[in-house]
């Protein structure tokens, strides 16, 4: 799976990418996942599918997807701050939706901070609709998460 948007490439994440992914993670989230979390996802979680976005060989973003039977879940999606606003997140999420569909998922969901209107706008653009609230979901500040869904079939 490869896409080109100017010099953007989307490809499957490998173990060798973990250090770079961890840098994206730390610069994107108040409570980042650990490197061990990514190693687990890549080496042991049979339901996980992760992809990276590269420009000129530099990893600038990533997206994680779990597919369990007919349900798919975006685990994380992040783009380095200096590369945001260039449709990289949109491209990653579009690829994740397509992969979920190809893996026979019927629905795709994700959680987003209720205050993150920029991300919510992107998700709505790609067909996601609000489906509920997870109270106190985020551990850094107890912010609620908006659960958003899209039907794939």
Give me the number of domains the chain comprises: 1
Looking up residue 10, the CATH number of its domain turns out to be 3.40.630.30
Judge whether 118 lies within some domain.
Answer: no
**Range of the structural domain that residue 81 is part of:** 4-108
Catalytic residue list: 111, 123
Name the helix (H) or strand (E) containing 32: none
Judge whether 148 lies within some domain.
Answer: no
Give how far Cα 42 sits from Cα of 38, 64, 98, 153, Å.
6, 10, 20, 27
Judge whether 147 lies within some domain.
Answer: no
Judge whether 32 lies within some domain.
Answer: yes
Q: Give the global pTM.
A: 0.92
pLDDT averaged over every residue in the chain: 95
Question: What confidence tens digit (pLDDT) does each residue in 116-148 have?
Answer: 999 999 999 999 999 999 999 999 999 999 999
When pLDDT is averaged across residues 26-35 and rounded to a whole number, the result is: 95
Q: Does the structure show a pLDDT above 50 at 4? A: no
Judge whether 117 lies within some domain.
Answer: no
Judge whether 92 lies within some domain.
Answer: yes
């Amino acid at each position: 799976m490869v896409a080109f948007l100017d010099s953007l490439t989307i490809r499957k994440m490998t173990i060798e990418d973990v250090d770079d992914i961890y840098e994206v993670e730390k610069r994107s989230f108040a409570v980042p996942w650990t490197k061990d979390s990514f190693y687990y996802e890549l080496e042991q979680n049979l339901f996980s599918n992760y992809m990276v976005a590269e420009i000129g060989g530099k990893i600038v973003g990533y997206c994680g997807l779990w597919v369990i039977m007919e349900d798919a879940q975006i685990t994380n999606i992040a783009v380095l701050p200096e590369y945001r606003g260039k449709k990289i997140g949109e491209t990653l999420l579009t690829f994740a939706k397509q992969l979920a569909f190809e893996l026979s998922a019927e629905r795709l969901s994700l959680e987003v901070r209720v205050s993150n209107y920029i991300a919510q706008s992107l998700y709505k653009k790609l067909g996601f609709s609000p489906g509920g609230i997870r109270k106190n979901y985020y551990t850094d500040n107890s912010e609620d998460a908006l659960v958003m869904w899209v039907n794939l079939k």
